[in-house]
Amino acid sequence: MRHVVALRERGVPLATTDRNAFELHRNLVGQLGLDEDEAMEEVDRVLAPFMLIGADEYDYLRDAARARLRQGGKSDWPALAAALAFGGQIWTEDVDFFGVGVAVWTTDNLPYLKHASDD
C-alpha cells in the first residue's frame, strides 16, 4: 500500500476495473472466508485510492485487447482494454502484459517510486 500512497502523493492517477474489484471480493470471500459485508468493506478500503472503471467504458475494446494478449493471458483483457480506452499504462508483475502495445510498469521499474526513495 505504501507504493500506492507514494504514487498518489506525486499526483499519479490510479484506476482499476470493476472486474478487478469483483475478483478481489470473490477471493476475500472464497479464499479468506470473509463474509460478504466484511469483504465489501475490505474492497472499499483497498480500492479507495483508485478510480473504478466500469465495463461500459472499456468493453467495446474487448476483441482488440484479447487479440494483443497471449493465449494464457486472454482473461486479463479488461485491464488492457481499460488502458487502451483511457490511453493509460499498466502497473503489474504479470508478464502477459509485456509487448501488448501500452506501457507496462513493474513495481521495480516504476519511475515515480524511484524518486520516492530519494525523499
Domain boundaries, the chain: 2-116
pLDDT band at 119 (very low <50, low <70, confident <90, very high): very low
Q: What is the number of other CB atoms lying within 10 angstroms of the CB of residue 87?
A: 7
Residue 112 has pLDDT above 90, yes or no: no
Grid cell at residue 92? 503489474
What's this model's pTM, rounded to 2 decimal places? 0.84
pLDDT at 40: 92
Contact 102, 84 (CB under 8 A): yes
Average pLDDT over residues 33-38: 89
Q: How far apart are CA 96 and CA 21, in angstroms?
A: 20
Q: How far apart are CA 42 and CA 46, in angstroms?
A: 6
The pLDDT tens digits of the residues spanning 41-79 come to: 989 999 999 999 999 999 999 999 999 999 888 999 999
CATH topology of domain 2-116: Rossmann fold (3.40.50)
Question: How would you label 6-39 residue by residue, b for 16+ Cβ within 10 Å and e otherwise?
Answer: bbeeeeeeebbbbbbbeebbeebbeeeebeeeeb
The percentage of the chain sitting over the pLDDT mark of 70, rounded to a whole number, equals 93
